[in-house]
Amino acid sequence: MNPLSSTARTRLGRYPERSSADRSVLHEILDDGMICHLGLVVNGSPRVLPTGYGRLDDTLYIHGSTGASSLMEGPAQDICVTVTHLDGIVLARSLFHHSINYRSAVIYGTPRLLDGDDKLTGLRAITEQLAPGQWDVARRPTRKEMAGVTVLALSLDEASVKIRQGPPSDDDPDHDLDVWAGVLPVHQAFGAPDPDPLLRSGIPVPGHIARRVTS
Amino acid sequence: MNPLSSTARTRLGRYPERSSADRSVLHEILDDGMICHLGLVVNGSPRVLPTGYGRLDDTLYIHGSTGASSLMEGPAQDICVTVTHLDGIVLARSLFHHSINYRSAVIYGTPRLLDGDDKLTGLRAITEQLAPGQWDVARRPTRKEMAGVTVLALSLDEASVKIRQGPPSDDDPDHDLDVWAGVLPVHQAFGAPDPDPLLRSGIPVPGHIARRVTS
């Protein structure tokens, strides 16, 4: 795999040691997420909207229905897509060194609006990212339904990752303080599946959904 | 409390029934979060960065150190701050109606760069949002440390909230399908606190941290 390229936009100004040029790290961060934050410029102002996404190789597919009206007006324009995992709260002895453990990916580029088979491929990637296993069990979209969905493709050519992990980085003299220090781990958890009140009787929760439950 | 105002930027184009004009709902969504996504325009392109924040009344305080260099260059400029909670994965009988249950807040405005007492107030709000109780136990920032932090204040005047909750909205004919449908709840969970390897012996995990553990 090619390493991540360094451009003016993807070079980290702050804490450059937290970056990684390893493309497989980018893939892992993206594959671990369920929603991204899509950044657009609308009438000169930034707009940030949460939406679904999926990845295949070095293409990111984005559910664009929320933000797409402004993307489809006028000429092709740059977007920014950010995926962030909050992994822990870093509790230091000094307030200054309080921090978060996280993994984030930031991708820049000009998206392509998909149609036909490409659009179906993208929608499948987005669905499987959020709800793995569902593509094979749920009713497939009709032609009319497909027309009501916007799917964008964004190359992973211009991307950066930033990671902070590990204990707090207190200054040496603070190690003597009588203050607890460490990390409070944070993770996303799945509760017990809540059946649709309209669910027909006798349909059990399928294994691919039940297996995700963590509590 | 004043209701949320409706502007061209905050009016929802899609699913307007998912919006709320209730300012207390905006406050709840913000108070439930730990990180936001900060959107900027840099050289005409959008940039979206995760960062910490806090709220007091109708002011949002943002830890601006990551994105602030571009904010401090040139004239005052608009930003967009988005906070999103993923509450559930909506598993429908049809792929078209797969969705997410979520609560999101989107705030637009031109931030003020804080200093002096205002900056300390903002930093305290940001710290207490991420690590409630720590302001009173950890070492306070020195003058030099304060100079190394950027804190922005953003009014909550121009904001919108969007919420989807509840079961899938399958089309009537699909209710007969032999496919499980419902919601897989998602929440953020806290693991067992992981002490700093450099922690002095005999310092127990304080109650305000231990009480957050969910698993």
End-to-end CA gap in chain B: 37
The CA distance from B136 to B87, in Å, is 31
CA atoms of B74 and B42, how far apart (whole Å)? 11
Report chain B residues whose CB lies below 8 A from the CB of A93.
138-139
> How many C-beta neighbours within 10 Å does residue B159 have?
24
Nearest CA in chain B to A190: B186
Answer yes or no: is B118 within a domain.
yes
Residue B66's closest chain A neighbor by CA?
Answer: A14
Helix (H) or strand (E) holding B20: strand B19-20
DSSP E strands: which ranges in B92-138? Answer: 99-109, 112-113
Q: What are phi and psi of A136, to 5 degrees?
A: -85, -10
Residue B109 has pLDDT above 70, yes or no: yes
Q: Which two tokens stand for residue A75?
A: 């000429």
- Chain A CB contacts of B109 under 8 Å are none
- CB B46 to CB A44 under 8 A? no
| Å between A1 CA and nearest CA of chain B | 26
Q: Which residue has the higher pLDDT, B56 or B43?
A: B56
Q: Which tokens is B158 given? A: 């121009």
**pLDDT tens sequence across A128-155:** 999 999 999 999 999 999 999 999 999 9
Give the mutation candidate from B180, B183, B199, B212 for the A interface (greatest A CB count, under 10 A): B180
Residue with tokens 């905006």: B26
Q: Is B120 inside a domain boundary? A: yes
Q: DSSP string of B27-91?
A: HHHHHT-SEEEEEEEETTEEEEEEEEEEEETTEEEEE-TTTHHHHHSSS---EEEEEEEEEEEEE
Q: Is residue B73 pLDDT above 80, yes or no?
A: no
Write out pLDDT tens, residues A78-104.
Answer: 999 999 999 999 999 999 999 999 999
Contact of A175 with chain B, judged by CB distance below 8 Å, is answered with yes
Considering chain A, what is the average pLDDT of its residues?
Answer: 93
Contact check, Cβ <8 Å, A167/B196: yes
Confidence of residue A26 (pLDDT cuts 50, 70, 90): very high
A188: amino acid identity, one letter: Q
Domain of residue B29: give its range.
16-169
B185 in any annotated domain: no
Residue A138 lies inside a defined structural domain of this protein = yes
Residue A214 covered by a domain: no
Among partner residues B81, B167, B205, which is closest to A197 by beta-carbon distance? B167
Decide: helix, strand or coil at residue A116: helix
Instruction: Give B185-213 pLDDT, tens digit per residue.
Output: 999 999 999 999 999 999 999 999 999 99
- Whether B215 shows a pLDDT value over 90: the answer reads no
How far is it, in rounded angstroms, from Cα B206 to Cα B131?
12
| Residue A211 included in any domain | no
What is the share, in percent, of chain B residues with pLDDT greater than 90? 82
- Say which of A47, A86, A193 has its CB closest to residue B39: A47
Indicate the number of domains in chain B: 1
**Which of A2-16, A145-159, B74-88 has the least mean pLDDT?**
A2-16
Residue B209 lies in a domain: no
In CATH, what number is assigned to the domain containing residue B96? 2.30.110.10
Pairing label, strands B35-42, A59-63: unpaired
Which whole-number Å values give the CA distances from A21 to A9, A54, B86, in the listed order?
14, 21, 29
pLDDT tens for residues B15-43? Answer: 777 787 789 999 999 999 999 999 999 99
Kindly state whether A181 is in contact with chain B, defined as any CB-CB distance less than 8 angstroms.
yes
Give tens-digit pLDDT for B157-170. Answer: 999 999 999 999 99
Of B62, B55, B50, B56, nearest to B114 (Cα)?
B62
Is residue B120 within 8 angstroms of chain A, CB to CB?
Answer: no
Q: Which among B46, B80, B148 has CB closest to A79?
A: B46
Q: Is residue A128 part of a domain?
A: yes
Is it the case that residue A187 has pLDDT exceeding 90?
yes
What span, in angstroms and rounded, lies between the C-alpha atoms of A47 and B7? 14
CB pairs under 8 A between A and B: 307
Q: Which amino acid is at B106?
A: V
Quote the pLDDT of residue B66: 67
Q: Is A53 helix (H, G, I), strand (E, B) or coil?
A: strand
Q: A138 and B95 in contact by Cβ < 8 A?
A: yes
A25 touches chain B (CB under 8 A): no
Give pLDDT tens digits for B1-20.
Answer: 778 877 888 877 777 777 87
Residue contact A181–B198, C-beta within 8 A: yes
pLDDT at B186: 98
Strands (E), chain A: 19-20, 35-42, 45-56, 59-63, 79-91, 99-109, 112-113, 151-155, 158-164, 182-190, 194-195
How much is the average pLDDT of A186-208?
Answer: 97
**Contact criterion met (CB < 8 Å) for B39 and A52:** no
d(CA A76, CA A78): 7
pLDDT surpasses 80 at B154: yes
Interface contact B65, partner A, CB < 8 A: yes
pLDDT band at A67 (very low <50, low <70, confident <90, very high): low
Chain Cα centroid distance, residue B98: 24
Q: Which residues of A touch B86 (CB under 8 A)?
A: 34-35, 188
Q: Are A46 and B46 in contact (CB under 8 A)?
A: yes
> Residue B72: its pLDDT value, please?
66
